[in-house]
Chains A and B, each alone.
Chain A
């Protein structure tokens, strides 16, 4: 099944180069995306057996990232079919600089989209650190041509920055992989594999200094790809200059894959009992990213860049949640899902706004409720959702993170709330201006040609709303399974690094005589009382 998930889009990508007719190629794209989504959903019902000696396996977090990736890709593929049809052939004028440009060949664009899906699935299904790196690096190589679909100067500059910065970042992650290998091999009696299970089992005896160095390289490397500050500089450019459906995929699916890299590395350091080292790093980078995102959102003039900086802020929230642990970590995983759904929807809607107004400057976009009634309603709902307002899923996740932070560090919790407030004001005010007022003179309500351009983001926003109101048991189980566990020292326990301990259960094993810890009850009063 896992091989099928990886190879199906790969085969479709190859086929798309040989299909000459655009319409058939679009059918192939949507058909493959639909089939891939069905396969991913079937994995939710019956998780597939690990393959390649455990190097490819779908654990809870992998399954979640896979499902999100396939859902967003299906949404993007439906949107793409209409979008590609509406793109005029031949040269046309760039509305910013007035220079002429053409689009990249549609066959290349479709093939790169499908290759992006294949590599993202590989990253999601990899429990081998080398394969994970390959999956994430491949997403960089195949998504750069997607950013440069509109062949003008700005998209070229954005694609170059993205390619160079992310390639260097990912190279740092490769150094991290090497150091991780050295850290576990230097103290082991026999060769240790690079799968997560092997590394977690070997981590307690690994050389701690080298493991710390490996973690720093992995955090910086995958953090660059994830767009955390101060390595985020490629992200606003790439997200604002790429076609909207590509921005949706970059923000909703690609960032999750990079987060997965950091998540896996954190699992290894947690197993080595190095959370005292990794948590402050995660929290610092998290707060720095949130601050950077908030600062650039306030007064931002470009609505696509505003969404991109919101991405930087949300990636900061994810790191903060991972560094805080316990309930916050579970909230973080939920936040990843919520952010993907809402941000992808917002980028697709931004594409509708851009197609109508021919500008990305927020001050020039007014009276959306008259020109684009459905898009404007969804845009407002999406902005409310992405700011973490109830009843959307991001409210629940941000609240869980706040709870965790209050227990761990009240000053950080206060600052977190302050930043959320700044972002709320910074995004709601321009959204309200875009919604209300009179449309610019000369612009008329566009003829509805592409029903999927509204229906697709609507489905994503409704999903985010429903998840905020009701959490299905299967998804809740997935979140509980995915949330990283914390070592017992955090709650005052002494860890027992028993040989052969598993990646999750071992962390909560305590010395004989002390009560067993419930992973889901960490940081709660009951557990803390027990420790005393």
Chain B
């Protein structure tokens, strides 16, 4: 007896990722951003399973569980911890408004779909399917970094961009290379940890969470 889902799990997951990108670009409250990043992270953790190249065995399941825990729980916990340690200052207005950011995100998605078609079918057809969502997530991360003045948002942007890259890499993940992906993820975790400490120190040293106030080093 076979059991089939009434929907395609991969496309559903990719649609959720793209929608969360747009929601992140439109979100004003940091707590909502952290929740969206956590949701993205959980989905990312399961992506190597969807790739199918690795086959599903105990090892792959274990590594995917570690991915999901780090991306969906540890990194958001780090973000929440950093947020709690920030002084209760009003968030500075972004350089580009939230609505305009969403429009830019939609433009980024369109560009990603166009680029995906231009690139043609790669050896692994799954890559072509994942490419638009991965690229759009990367663009959303970059937009978050360059359009927001709040230093914590720059950290959000970095993590969203990394999610996009992780998504792009997931079709290539083979069982033999999962250790490499895990090491890459641990590196990113280390970077996020150091960034969290830096954000906390900056908010104390400059008494501000505005990136514009942190620009004393010039020629």
Contact = CB atoms under 8 A, between A and B. Distances in A.
Interface in B130-157: 138, 142, 145, 151, 154
Most buried by A among B174, B194, B206, B215: B194
B184 A163 contact: no
B217 A154 contact: yes
B212 to A, nearest CB: 12
Given A145-B194, A175-B138, A160 B202 contact: yes
A236 B183 contact: no
Contact of B217 (A130, A144, A157): A157
A164 to B, nearest CB: 6
A233 to B, nearest CB: 10
A182 B127 contact: yes
Nearest to B121: A186
B161 A185 contact: no
10 contacts: A131-B180, A138-B187, A141-B194, A148-B201, A160-B151, A160-B202, A163-B198, A178-B172, A185-B122, A236-B217
Given A141-B194, A168-B145, 6 more contacts: A163-B194, A171-B158, A171-B165, A174-B165, A187-B123, A236-B219
B217 A237 contact: yes
A185 B205 contact: no
Given A163-B194, A163-B198, A175-B165, A133 B184 contact: yes
Contact of A163 (B177, B195, B219): B195
A130 B123 CA distance: 20
Contacts of A178: 165, 168-169, 172
Nearest to B138: A175
Contacts of B119: 209-210
A294 to B, nearest CB: 13
Given A157-B216, A168-B161, A210-B119, A141 B168 contact: no
A175 B163 CA distance: 12
B198 A144 contact: yes
B201 A156 contact: yes
A151 interface: yes
B210 interface: no
A210 to B, nearest CB: 7
Most buried by B among A130, A182, A186, A305: A182
A159 B172 contact: no
Contacts of A130: 177, 180, 184
Interface in A123-146: 130-131, 133-134, 137-138, 140-141, 144-145
Given A168-B145, A296-B219, A300-B219, A153 B123 contact: no
Contacts of B215: 157
B15 interface: no
Nearest to B206: A153
B190 interface: yes
Nearest to A134: B183
Interface string B177-213: 1001001100110110011001001100110000000
Given A153-B206, A178-B165, A164 B195 contact: yes
A137 B151 CA distance: 21
B187 A182 contact: no
B122 A163 contact: no
Nearest to A97: B216
Contacts of B142: 168
A219 B168 CA distance: 19
B124 interface: yes
Interface of B: 119, 122-124, 127, 138, 142, 145, 151, 154, 158, 161-162, 165, 168-169, 172, 174, 177, 180, 183-184, 187-188, 190-191, 194-195, 198, 201-202, 205-206, 214-217, 219
A160 B205 CA distance: 13
A175 B191 contact: no
Nearest to B204: A156
B155 to A, nearest CB: 8
Contacts of A140: 191
Contacts of A187: 123
Contacts of A241: 217
A476 to B, nearest CB: 36
Interface in A183-197: 185-188, 191
B190 A141 contact: yes
A100 to B, nearest CB: 11
A137 B180 CA distance: 13
A159 B206 CA distance: 14
Contact of B201 (A151, A161, A175, A209): A151
Nearest to A162: B198
A160 B158 contact: no
B187 A134 contact: yes
A137 B187 contact: yes
Contacts of A186: 122-123
A171 B154 CA distance: 14
Contacts of A164: 145, 154, 158, 195
A163 B194 CA distance: 8
A522 B177 CA distance: 39
B47 to A, nearest CB: 13
B172 A182 contact: yes
Interface in A168-221: 168, 171, 174-175, 178, 181-182, 185-188, 191, 209-210
A209 B205 CA distance: 48
B171 to A, nearest CB: 9
Contacts of B169: 174, 178
A167 interface: yes
Given A134-B184, A175-B168, A153 B154 contact: no
A305 B165 contact: no
Contacts of A300: 219
Contacts of A151: 201
A479 interface: no
A461 interface: no
A210 B145 CA distance: 27
Nearest to A241: B217
